[in-house]
Amino acid sequence: MRSSLRVLKTVQKLEVVPKVPANSTVFSLLQPTGNIHLGNYLGAIKAWKNISESESPNSRYIYGIADLHALTMPQDPNKLRQCRTEAVASLIAAGLDPQKCTIFHQSSVPAHTELTWILTCITGMGFLNRMTQWKSKGQHAESSSIFDDKILERTKAGLFTYPVLMAADILIYNATHVPVGDDQSQHLELARYLASSFNHQYNTDHFVIPTTLLSRSQKILSLRNPQKKMSKSDPDQMGCIYVTDDADAISKKVRKAQTDSIQGTIYYDPVQRPGVSNLISIIAGVTNRTIEEVEAEIKHMTSHKQLKDYTAEVLIEEFRPKRAMYDKLVNDPAYLQSVLDEGTAKAKAIADANITKIRTLVGLN
C-alpha cells in the first residue's frame, strides 16, 4: 500500500507543451528495434523533444539506446549493430538536438551494470514476479508465476530481472523525471521502491525519487486492427506506419485503415469507434493538440475519407523532413559516431561520479 501511495504522488501526465522544474535531470531510453514506428515516435521521441525544448533553466536531458535491454530476447549480432545505428539516426532525425541532449548507447557506460548488481541484491523476487512485461514478452498469461516449475524452466534470468537494470539506468543519473508510456509505469514504481529501499538500508538520501512523466499521447493502435497496439512485429505491416515511410506508403496505409459503418459526424469514442478514434489520436499527437481540439477542428467532416485524407496529410508533412534527415544520417556514420562519442563522455562523467559515491555508501570503496 505504501509503494502505491508513492506512485500516486510521483506520476505526472505530460501537458501539450511539457515543462519540468529548473535543475531537473530528464532521462529515458529507447530499445534499438530498427525503424521507428508512429507509436514509438508519439509515445516517446516527440515527448523527449518537446521536453528538451521547454524552458527549464539548468536542466539536462539524457536520452539513449537501450541496447543491453535488447539482449533479453534473441538477437542477430549484425542486425543489432545495424539497429543501434538506425536508432541513433532516428532520434536525431525526429528532432533531438545533440547540443541540448546527451545521446548515447546504454552499453557504453559500465556503471549501469554495476549499479544493477547492487540493486539486484536488495530486490525481492516477489516484486519482480508481479511485473507484467516479462510475462508478455515470454508469452505467459498475466496470472503466471515464476515459482511455477514450467514457467521457471522457460524464463531466462535476464528477462525476469531486467526491470532492475531499468531502475539502475534511471538511478545512475539520479534522474528527477522519466518520460514513459503507460506500459512502463510499473517499472518506474520499482525504480522508486529501490531508490527508497537503498536510502533506508544505507541511512542516506543519496537517490532522488524519480517522477514518472506519462506521455499525453493516447496509445497508438494498428491501423488494420484497432484492438491492438501498433507494432513492428505485426504480420500485417499495412497497420504500421514508420517515420521513414514515404508519402505514397503513408497514404496507402491510412487509406486502408479500419474505421466503422457509422455515417455522419466524425467524433472520438474509443469503445464504439476504435478505428476512427485511433486516427483522431494520431492527429492530436502529431499536431500537439488535445483530442477535444481536434474534434472541434474536424466537426465539419462527414465521411471517413475526409478523416483519412486529413490524417495522411498531417503524417506526410510531419515525416517528410525527418525521412530526408534520416537518409542523410545513416549515410554519415562519422557524424553519428561523433554524437555518440560526445554523449558517452557526458553520460559516463555523471554515472562514474555517482557510482563512486555509491561504492562508498555500500562499503566497496
- Measured distance between the N- and C-terminal CA atoms of the chain, rounded to whole angstroms: 35
Residue 26, phi then psi, degrees to nearest 5: -100, 130
Task: Quote the CA–CA distance of 142 and 140 in Å, as a whole number.
Answer: 6
Tracing cell 515516435 back to the chain, one arrives at: 41
Task: Quote the CA–CA distance of 158 and 63 in Å, as a whole number.
Answer: 22
SS (HEC) of 212-242: EEECCCCCCECCCCCCCECCCCCCCHHHCCE
Beta strands in 263-348 (DSSP E): none
| Nearest alpha-carbon partner for 162 in 192, 181, 190, 185 | 190
Among the options 229, 253, 308, 322, which is catalytic?
Answer: 229
Among the options 156, 232, 346, 348, which is catalytic?
Answer: 232
| Nearest alpha-carbon partner for 146 in 348, 133, 52 | 133
Task: Quote the CA–CA distance of 210 and 10 in Å, as a whole number.
Answer: 7
Based on the residue annotation, tell me whether 229 is a catalytic residue of this protein. yes
Could you tell me the three cell numbers for 84?
543501434
Measured from the Cβ of residue 74, the count of other Cβ atoms closer than 10 Å reads 7
Q: What residues have CB less than 8 Å from 2, skipping those under 6 apart?
A: none
Based on the residue annotation, tell me whether 232 is a catalytic residue of this protein. yes
Could you tell me the three cell numbers for 37?
514506428
Among the options 137, 219, 346, 348, which is catalytic?
Answer: 137
- Coil, helix or strand at residue 172: coil
Task: Quote the CA–CA distance of 36 and 222 in Å, as a whole number.
Answer: 14
Based on the residue annotation, tell me whether 49 is a catalytic residue of this protein. no
* Catalytically active residues, by annotation: 137, 229, 232
